[in-house]
Amino acid sequence: MMSEDRVSVRAVSLERGTARPVGEIAVIDDDRALLELTLMAVRDSGYRAIGFSDPLDALMWASDADPTCIVADLKMPGVEGLDLVAAFCALNRHAVIIVSAFVDVRMTVDAMRLGVDNVLPKPTTGESLIRAIEQGAAALQVAPPREELTFTRRESQVAEMLVGGMTTKQIAQSLSLSPRTVEFFRASLLRKTQSPNSAALASALTRIGFRAS
């Protein structure tokens, strides 16, 4: 996720005196070596940090976490395109930073429309990463978190099919997704609606206004 050049990041960060976000910084990358390198740089800069190599685990954590910065790789196994960061943005309380080797103008524009705070090329320097985290932390302090319930496009599609009684396999076939990806969105819907099981989820989605597609 970042280059070996970690340039005295701790000194840069502490001299600026930027206030820290409430919770741990979350770093998501399926490359474990890069994940550990990024976590080390973030911690060396005075932040607490937690790492994830599984996008579903990261989403489950982010659903309950205090407002903080999330640093996410774009290409994750089992999740397509911007779906992962869209799910984070839809929580409406975290600053989301993308670090990706697939940065281009179109992707950056699409990401910003979702609510992403920053997009960095991969590999990035430690100083660039910490600067983005500091900017995200500052944004969290001036913009109170929004609590309204929002859903990504994929979540809405899955919700309609769940209300219609479709199974994970059927939804996956209909949307040309893997069953693992469907479970990712189903888990997100469970957390957002605070539903304990699938039956309660279908009921909650119906009350919200979802109808079978």
- DSSP per-residue string spanning 148-210: S----HHHHHHHHHHHTT--HHHHHHHHT--HHHHHHHHHHHHHHHT-SSHHHHHHHHHHHT-
Compute the distance between CA of residue 162 and CA of residue 39 in angstroms, rounded to an integer: 37
For residue 1, tell me if it sits in a domain: no
Joined together, the tokens standing for residue 104 give 């281009």
Assess whether 134 and 82 both reside in one domain: yes
Structural domain span for residue 190: 153-208
Residues 105, 64, single domain; the answer is yes
Tell me the CATH number at 50.
3.40.50.2300
Do 33 and 132 fall within a single domain?
yes
Q: Do 22 and 88 fall into the same domain?
A: yes
Q: What is the DSSP string of 92-112?
A: SSSEEEEEES---HHHHHHHH
Q: Are residues 109 and 160 in the same domain?
A: no
- 109: its two tokens: 């524009």
pLDDT at residue 5 greater than cutoff 50? no
pLDDT of residue 74: 83
Beta bridge pairs of residue 95: 69
Average pLDDT score over residue span 49-66: 89
- Quick one: 130 and 37 in the same domain? yes
SS3 content of the chain, % helix, strand, coil (to 5): 50, 15, 35
**Does the predicted model carry a pTM greater than 0.85?**
no
Of the three residues 142, 161, 196, the one that is the final residue of a domain is 142
Residues 125 and 85 in one domain: yes
Residue-wise pLDDT for 166-196, tens only, equals 999 999 999 988 888 898 888 888 888 878 7
- Residue 12 is encoded by which pair of tokens? 């840069």
Distance between terminal CA atoms of the chain? 39
Same domain, 136 and 166: no
Residue 116 contacts residue 97 (beta carbons within 8 Å): yes
Note whether 70 and 28 are within 8 A (CB): yes
80 with 117, same domain: the answer is: yes
- 213: in domain: no
Closest Cα partner for 70 from 47, 102, 104, 45?
47
Question: Residue 157 maps to which CATH number?
Answer: 1.10.10.10
Give the total number of structural domains in the chain. Answer: 2
Averaged pLDDT for residues 50-77: 89
Q: Is 127 in the same domain as 158?
A: no
Q: How far apart are CA 172 and CA 178, in angstroms?
A: 6
Judgement on whether residues 35 and 137 belong to the same structural domain of the protein = yes
pLDDT digits (tens, 9 = 90+) for 89-134: 888 889 999 998 887 888 888 888 888 999 998 888 889 999 999 9
